[in-house]
Structure 1
């Protein structure tokens, strides 16, 4: 058998040792070979032994100039084969800062230190949209990006493109986590008095009913997706069915300025599809809103779009979630209450229910969750009133 290592002498008299080793066959059955040139024969022999050993146990990775961007393209194609459009868009968005910082780097040259540097950069300078460009991304966004990167690199290892997943054990710094926890604590949901102040302030406003829907724990996409005929029963059972959503998906394939598009679909999970008995104030507000829309339709005539959605403007055009949020923030400002996300208004409702004796199973079902522990862990917050009630109960015990 021909010796796979041979000595090379250059014109200047220096020597190198070149090895040529079979590493398998390609898709057409043609033999593939790897050539390596090293300084000493010992290095060449050791390298040959390593390659043959890794080939024998199936762990050998063919050297390649593939970049991280190349791997992310492969992973996205695989990961989005059978997911909703919104999920696919989220995957792509999570990889935007990764591509910006490290996408052009050679995949097989990446180290854990490179991924740590990427994480630190995302936390300090990684924002590209949704705020001031060049500022830091939130810990949640960085955690999502890091998680997707780990998944992409796991695929790279499985397909023999990487020796190991260098993102596997990289974490977000404790300092960044502490800052995020402090910000989260500062962004607390409304308490009972704030909810009442807000509703009292907007009771004569056209969007009173829409805010009611958000405050009975509907998500913004669920509020925007609610339809009169299919989902709302005001004259019979007095219920509202949550079974359709209208959300915004960011599509980078479109031209700038036209990348936000509306996607309509079922609820995210089977548990999310639910029918809720309308509280009396919400029932009354929806009846009033239906009457307002009937008058608007008569006034607008042929200019009116009879879209069938509950949340529409004066000409019948359905709201997008971003418009719902903007209008909600205007109403909060006018009411003089703290500005909170609509999701935090949802938290306020679920917390109030849980803290006022509604069974956990009912709270979870109302929220549209299949995991009771998730509802309690994420959505239920002790408020001053519930803590005071706890103090009074302890008084009975200690007195």
Structure 2
């Protein structure tokens, strides 16, 4: 290089306002200041940038100054993950309180794991570590809150007396009249007992519950979805360069390859015969009409939010829903626009609703309570609305008394979708009845029964 070229190069380097700094501990850094825009009050936004090497400082100075000149520079976000989540949640306009509560709960694992980490410093590797942590140790330990006098604790203590395990039948005999199946399920999830074999339980290996446990993949996916929505909002605002959460791979559900039929202990839906047995068992129940609405595929929130003013022999108008939000119950708009619909009630349902209305009128008269058609349909004898949890508990009591396989209440919705599709009703009509997208009917709610497979196999070649 000639002397003239060397002089020009040195002048160019000196023109870049990069300073060398030496800390008291001897650490050397390279820093520069640059105007990156204007603040909300109109003053210039001058920021300082510091790097470990002179080469990196030069490269970043040229990149940042070029982006500022082109108007494409992204201001570094200084919020922590926790602060960013709170700011995003505060700015959201949720239509339903339960949606806000669910989104906040989905973000809890990320807020707990990252804590005070700067959101702008997160990488795909960090998100992958969050996924691994949730799958292996992300479950919150509730053992410290256990009441020793509760039914769960007494069941656990009884199981602990049998080192080789004890059958569910023996546990039920020890606690007659109690819903032992629900207690055992809860104890399994809490890690307090373990299943030795089918129907046989023993106390967990770690009595203090200190062993870390993970959550299911579906929980991880919910957290990543909420976290990705939050990060994407800052990307859209120009406060982050990219959404690293969207780059992380979502964990898939585990596939059970066991040869036994243990997975039938937790079915998603009933067969035609089973749902008919439930309907027969529910006929003697005061809220038989409500159980019919549930078997016809209406959501729990829709059944509990239905008022007499929205019922006629020609239409059940789904306009509101009642859901549990923490310890409170909230009445709000339907889950989606598709959920707002008018359902022509089948004759048996219309008759059951008219009968329930007569019963409730008589109850009001006996209690001296004025009648109003604007009251909710699902209320107790005193006219008080039923809590969603109580409605679910009543469902399980009826199903258990009928000797039916245990399914979740929302399994009635799966059952309704599956039965309609099996009858050859077009998917778009099934979806319209249930208030969701046709793709949901086929991919989420539809459950293929054994007899459906048998019929398909027989019809294939007419055998």
Aligned equivalents of 2:265, 2:402: Cα separation in 1? 23
Q: Is 1:330 aligned to 2:330, yes or no?
A: no
Map 1:7-86 to 2 at 5 A. 7-8=20-21, 17-38=30-51, 41-63=54-76, 65-78=78-91, 80-81=92-93, 83-86=95-98
Counterpart of 1:382 in structure 2 is: 448
Structure 2 CA distance for partners of 1:2 and 1:183, relative to 1, 3 Å = farther
Q: Is 1:309 aligned to 2:376, yes or no?
A: yes
User: Structure 1 residues 213-222 or 339-348, which shifts more?
Assistant: 339-348
Secondary structure of the corresponding residue to residue 41 of structure 2 = coil
- Alpha carbons 2:88, 2:230 under 8 Å: kept: yes
Offset, 1:218: 0.8
- Alpha carbons 1:122, 1:136 under 8 Å: kept: yes
User: Structure 1 residues 133-142 or 268-277, which shifts more?
Assistant: 133-142
Offset, 1:222: 0.7
User: Which ranges in structure 2 are unaligned for 5 or more consecutive residues?
Assistant: 1-13, 143-185, 192-211
Secondary structure of the corresponding residue to residue 275 of structure 1 = strand
Structure 2 CA distance for partners of 1:16 and 1:72, relative to 1, 3 Å = closer
- Alpha carbons 1:59, 1:163 under 8 Å: kept: no
Tell me the TM-score normalized by structure 1.
0.82
The one-character-per-residue Cα deviations of 1:310-344 (angstroms, maximum 9, x if unpaired) are 11111111113222111111211121111212221
User: Which ranges in structure 1 are unaligned for 5 or more consecutive residues?
Assistant: 251-259
Offset, 1:162: 3.0
Match of residue 340, structure 2, among 265, 273, 276: 273
Counterpart of 1:227 in structure 2 is: 307
Offset, 1:354: 1.7
Secondary structure of the corresponding residue to residue 329 of structure 2 = strand
Q: Is 1:168 aligned to 2:246, yes or no?
A: yes
Aligned equivalents of 2:126, 2:292: Cα separation in 1? 48
Aligned equivalents of 2:448, 2:32: Cα separation in 1? 69
Counterpart of 2:203 in structure 1 is: none
Number of residue pairs matched by the alignment: 380
- Alpha carbons 2:302, 2:320 under 8 Å: kept: yes
Aligned equivalents of 2:87, 2:263: Cα separation in 1? 36
- Alpha carbons 1:306, 1:316 under 8 Å: kept: no
Structure 2 CA distance for partners of 1:347 and 1:211, relative to 1, 3 Å = same
Aligned equivalents of 2:428, 2:228: Cα separation in 1? 35
Tell me the TM-score normalized by structure 2.
0.72
